[in-house]
Amino acid sequence: MTPLLEMRSVSKQFGGLSAVTDLDIHVDEGECLGLIGPNGAGKTTAFSILMGELEPSSGSVHFRGGDITGLPTHRRVQLGIARTYQIPRPFGDMSVLDNVRVGAMPDSVMRLLIPDRATESEWNFLQTVGFTAREASMLPGQLSMGELRKLELARNLATGPRIMLLDEVFAGLTVAEIGQLTELLLQRKRDGMTYMVVSHDLKSLRPLVDRVVAISFGSAIAQGSFDAVLENPQVREAYLGQD
Amino acid sequence: MLNLLIQGLALSGLYALIAVGFTMIFSVGRVLNLAYGTYIMLGGYVYFTIVQEQGLPKVAGFAGALIAGGLFAVIVYEFLVRRLEGNPKAVSISTLILAVAMQALIVLIYRPTSKSMWPVINGVFRYEEIFVTYNVIVATVTSWVALGGLLILVRYTQFGRAVRAVSMDRKGAVISGIDPERMNRATWMISGALGALAGVFFATYTQLFPSMWVWPLIIAVAVVVVGGIGSIIGSLIVAHIIGFMEVVTTTYIAAELRGVFTMLLIIIVLVMAPKGLFGRGDI
Amino acid sequence: MIPYRQLAGWAVFGGVMCLLPLVLPPGILRMVIFANFLAIFALSWDFISGRTGYVSFGHPFLIAIGAYSTAILSFRFDWPLIISIPSAVLITVISGLFFFVPALRIRGTYFALVTLAFMELAYQLTQVLRPDITGGTRGISGITSIVSGAVPNFYLSFSILFVAALLLWFLARTRMGTALAAVRMDEGAVTASGLSTIRLKLFAFGVSALVAGIGGAFYVHYLGSIAPRAMFDINFLFQILVAALIGGSTTIAGPIIGAFFLTFLLEYLRPFIDGPERFLIFGSVALIVYVLKPNGIYSILESGYGLALARFRRFRPEGGPAK
């Protein structure tokens, strides 16, 4: 079966520095893949290459078997790939509702030229993500980190993705918020959503992922089930240094 | 041919001096100070008032110009730029408004007609077929002395280290015991004084008129943008490119077109290589 | 969901303005005509600079393209105005691409600088290149006027302003308006939401150039003459910019209020100081307003209105409603 999204032998250099070296990652439809590895291992770079925000120095990116290397980011989003950022990037002067509605906007000048009014379905959508009517009119500056992550997730979901790349979704959240978020993600997963998740918080990652790839210095050093990868001596060494 | 070379060198030296004060502010605070041209204008007019209107010695004229430029720059920093910190767009818009207001002030005091400035030193140096006015020689030498002094100040003194620290990492500088506000104020003052110094010589090259600030501002912008942020050597090279381009255009093509190539250079470099030709570049 | 209150505002604005010629002497009416044109230019400036955040310091360049095109076509080549003006507007929109291309790569202050360089470049080139067509430094005078007299010119300039403002107001209220605001806040996040920022920016620049071109073309037929120093001028840029900022950026009423405020302030300073020195006071006022109230007069009026409303309802007397 063709993977939903995959990168084939991708390398990326910044100046003389190699961020990613000959990296292969793939994720199948309906699967949840965890990407782990120490700081600076190249996880976020890999996301940026998958999204087309960075061009790989060599290698290719494929979506449902089709080569999408070189495709601009917004076209990939339209195909059904979405990502969140390590530090959430909401539109600061816009209400929560409007933020999410930007995600739902069609990419066509003509179809944007209609009066800007929230529809019933947009309200309902916001509620399914867990925002109350009061929160919908708040500005991002008034939200907690947990709500900001939820906001970004909602904006992503509004683009109608088939796969979501989640970068450090659990960072800065309370235990309760992590629980709610996991619940939300698992529920979408049952509906067929595919994920790729980067997280330092291995404990929170565990109930979510089907398979894990460990990255160190820009290369994959191990992959398999969560427990197997964590048992891998190379992974332990990468995390803990010389052991 | 030799005359062309000397003219080019002289003009480039002056342009480097014009640009260097602007570069300082840009590399330390990452703000585009569009009121920079007014320091140059201020220097010219203050010198003119002290030396030509009051008949005081030239040293007093230079001192007055430097003080006026430095003081004005600190005032701009204190009352405008510091309040808009973190909003580079607002800084560039408000300093542009300030520059136009300053132009109106000059019109109010000195009337809109242009005034001619005497050379700082009279006379012409003549050797075989070379003609150079002493004024140009003094201007060029002063430019190089000022540039050298600044380079030493930035590279080899405690003050320079502190300023560079603030420009690289403000928070890091603070926890190392540097007061960034003091450093910024000092940088702005030096920038203003350098601008005013350049202004005195610039005015002897051209004339004094209320909109004389526009061209030096464009030169400064071109040097910084094309040379790349924070690259003193890059600035020097670009100042020479622009200076020689202007001299060659004036001599061989048409005097009216002397600015065209500078403008094209800014546009092309900004579009093709936003980091500048020699900069470490961050936008 | 029809915005009755705003529509009522538009009706009052249009009605009051249409009555002005009945009460104002022609001298003051000529000022209002200038204010109308300035408001058109400020609205055009604000549509890219305020809404999308691409600050243009070269807007006089776009306006001058419109003005020069129709001036040259009608004066040198004897084209009828009904063809020369639309052609000029079209040329301006195409020239807007000159602004758009740098916007693909640079933003913020760098973008502002490129547009400023465009303006100075155009200034120098018009003086030297083909002075037989552009009129060189002296420019062109004796350009055909469309209507004569203060009152017809007032109605003409006001109708252009009214239509342009309505168009921009409508655009601001569409999803496009929201998307352009998003471009100002975070272009990367707009792309990540599946929208092409290139297309959005192209649209914004096109609309801005359209309004600038229409304003510039009609303005030159009103003035009857054009010269490079009057057009490609930092003082002209200054008036446009300040009108938009002092009135209130990213609103429609703001730039209009600012343009009228500016015109009348300058006019009433005339008895005290009559030359370009007026810009000193004017610039200082603009700076103070800008530093203290970055959102301009519009926000002062808005909060004043909110305050009055709150007093009236005896509700939250210490401040206006949020926003």
The domain spanning residue A18 has which CATH number? 3.40.50.300
Could you tell me where the DSSP H helices lie in B30-87? 36-47, 58-76
Diameter over CA atoms, chain B: 61
- Phi and psi (nearest 5°) for B132? -135, 135
Chains C and A touch (3+ CB pairs under 8 A): yes
User: Is A40 inside a domain boundary?
Assistant: yes
Residue of C nearest to B99 (CA): C283
C226-262 burial by CB neighbour count: b if 16+ within 10 A, else e? bbbeebbbbebbbbbbbbbbbbbbbbbbbbbbbbbbb
Do residues C257 and C298 touch, judged by C-beta distance below 8 A? yes
Residue of A nearest to C2 (CA): A115
C174 to chain A: which residues are within 8 Å by CB? 112-116
User: Is C239 inside a domain boundary?
Assistant: no
Residue recorded with tokens 């990868």: A229
Query: How much is the average pLDDT of A14-43?
Result: 89
User: Is A112 inside a domain boundary?
Assistant: no
Test C108 with B100 for CB contact under 8 angstroms: no
The ipTM is: 0.90
- Structural domain boundaries of chain B? 2-210
User: What global pTM score does this model have?
Assistant: 0.89
**Least confidently predicted of A120-124, B25-29, C55-59, C71-75:** B25-29
The closest CB to that of C178, out of A89, A102, A158, belongs to A102
Structural domain of C192? 13-233
Positive or negative: CA dihedral B221, B223, B224, B225? positive
Test A116 with C1 for CB contact under 8 angstroms: no
pLDDT tens, C262-283? 888 888 877 777 677 777 888 8
The closest CB to that of A116, out of C174, C191, C195, belongs to C174
Residue recorded with tokens 């530090």: A87
What does the alpha-carbon distance between residue A146 and residue A171 come to, in Å, rounded to a whole number? 9
Structural domain of A53? 5-90+161-240
Test B283 with C286 for CB contact under 8 angstroms: no
Inter-CA distances, A28 with A51, A164, A193, B150, C93, Å: 17, 12, 11, 61, 48
Query: How much is the average pLDDT of A22-44?
Result: 91
Q: Shortest Cα distance from C170 to chain A (angstroms)?
A: 8
Angle at B199 between CA C290 and CA C124, to 5 degrees: 75
Chains B and C touch (3+ CB pairs under 8 A): yes
Test B112 with C286 for CB contact under 8 angstroms: no
Inter-CA distances, B17 with A214, B75, B235, C140, Å: 55, 22, 10, 39
Number of domains chain A is built from:
1
Residue of C nearest to B211 (CA): C234
C125 touching B (Cβ < 8 Å) = yes
Test A78 with C194 for CB contact under 8 angstroms: yes
CA dihedral B120, B126, B130, B131 (to 10 degrees): 30
Q: Which two tokens stand for residue B184?
A: 């910024």
pLDDT above 90 for C210: yes
Total residues belonging to chain A? 243
Q: Which residues of C touch A (CB under 8 A)?
A: 1, 171, 173-179, 181-182, 185-186, 188-197, 199, 203
The residues facing A215 across adjacent strands are A220
Residue of A nearest to C201 (CA): A109
B219 touching C (Cβ < 8 Å) = no
The helix-helix angle for C26-46 and C234-247 (nearest 10°) equals 80
pLDDT tens, C6-61? 889 899 999 999 999 988 888 889 999 999 999 999 999 999 998 998 999 989 99
The closest CB to that of B266, out of C117, C242, C245, belongs to C117
Could you tell me where the DSSP H helices lie in B228-279? 232-248, 260-272
Kindly state the helix (H) or strand (E) to which residue C11 belongs, with its residue range: helix C4-23
A73 touching C (Cβ < 8 Å) = yes
Test B96 with C57 for CB contact under 8 angstroms: yes
Inter-CA distances, B275 with B229, B278, C196, Å: 7, 8, 24
3-class DSSP assignment, residue A53: coil
Number of domains chain C is built from:
1
Mean of all residue pLDDT scores within chain B: 85
Rounded to a whole number of angstroms, the distance between the first and last alpha carbons of chain A is 39
pLDDT category at A238 given cuts 50, 70, 90 is confident
Of B44 and B170, the one with more pLDDT:
B44
What does the alpha-carbon distance between residue B190 and residue B69 come to, in Å, rounded to a whole number? 9
Test C128 with B267 for CB contact under 8 angstroms: no
